[in-house]
Amino acid sequence: MALLDFIKTHHTSTKRDYVARAVEYDKAECATISKQFGKDYWDGDRRYGYGGYSYDGRWRSVAEKMVEHYGLKPGSKVLDIGCGKAYLLYEFSQVIDGSEVAGIDISEYAIQTAKNEMKPFVQVGSAVELPYEDNTFDFVYSINTLHNLYNYDLQRALKEMERVGKEHKYLVVDSYRTESEKVNLLFWQLTCECFYIPQEWEWIFEQSGYTGDYSYVFYE
């Protein structure tokens, strides 16, 4: 396992008013709506989530970095767990010649509104029970998804990543290192169920038998 960052520039490019998120709206109501992962979460008011999530090509550089780092070759099989509208998955399909891509997400709305080119390759489903055979994929990744699980499902999801992946795996989850970052995370998040410092996450990875790489999102 290694701590690797491929998405920091994407995270830090977003401007966040942490206090306003917590005090200007009924945070509990917003979180309740967000956790339905429907239209409000993806394409509704910013208080419920993305505030509109459309393709803009920003994920291309992330795919290119991952392909280079993991040495993915033409024909590689790639799985995105928590693919959303499959924008990153689309970039993998463009960067890797002849790739076989697949994506799964709990959100019916996201799958229905996924990038048109990706719709044949994505489906509604859960990270804790992946509908794929053992050792199917050359690269399995999950970006900002697994922290939305309760802890009793988290280990199941990590074991599933191990089961369907051959060698290369990568995940990103929310974390905090200071009390300030913890407060910002609590103020900003809408769907997270797991709040762990890096050392706790790494202990969970080890206990689950997860052997892939990982990174964290910190709300500084």
Cβ(166)–Cβ(188) below 8 Å:
no
Q: How far apart are CA 72 and CA 181, in angstroms?
A: 35
1 within a domain of the structure (yes/no): no
User: Is 2 a domain residue?
Assistant: no
Residue 212 lies in a domain: yes
Q: Which two tokens stand for residue 183?
A: 């407060």
Instruction: Note down pLDDT in tens along the chain; length 220 residues.
Output: 899 999 877 656 567 787 777 778 899 999 999 999 999 999 999 999 999 999 999 999 999 999 999 999 999 999 999 999 999 999 999 999 999 999 999 999 999 999 999 999 999 999 999 999 999 999 999 999 999 999 999 999 999 999 999 989 999 999 999 999 999 999 999 999 999 999 999 999 999 999 999 999 999 8
3 domain-assigned: no
Range of the domain at 51: 8-217
Tell whether 121 is covered by a domain.
Answer: yes
153 part of a folded domain:
yes
Tell me the whole-structure pTM to 2 decimals.
Answer: 0.95
pLDDT value at residue 13: 57
Q: Give the single-character DSSP code of 75.
A: T
User: CA-to-CA distance for 172 and 82, rounded, in angstroms?
Assistant: 11
123-169 pLDDT tens trace: 999 999 999 999 999 999 999 999 999 999 999 999 999 999 998 99
Q: Is residue 101 part of a domain?
A: yes
What is the number of domains present in the chain? 1
The per-residue pLDDT for 15 is: 74
Query: What is the arrangement of strands in the sheet containing 137-143, beginning at the earlier edge strand?
Result: 122-124, 100-105, 77-81, 137-143, 165-174, 213-217
Domain membership flag for residue 27? yes
CATH number at residue 66: 3.40.50.150
Residues 26, 47 contacting (CB under 8 angstroms):
no
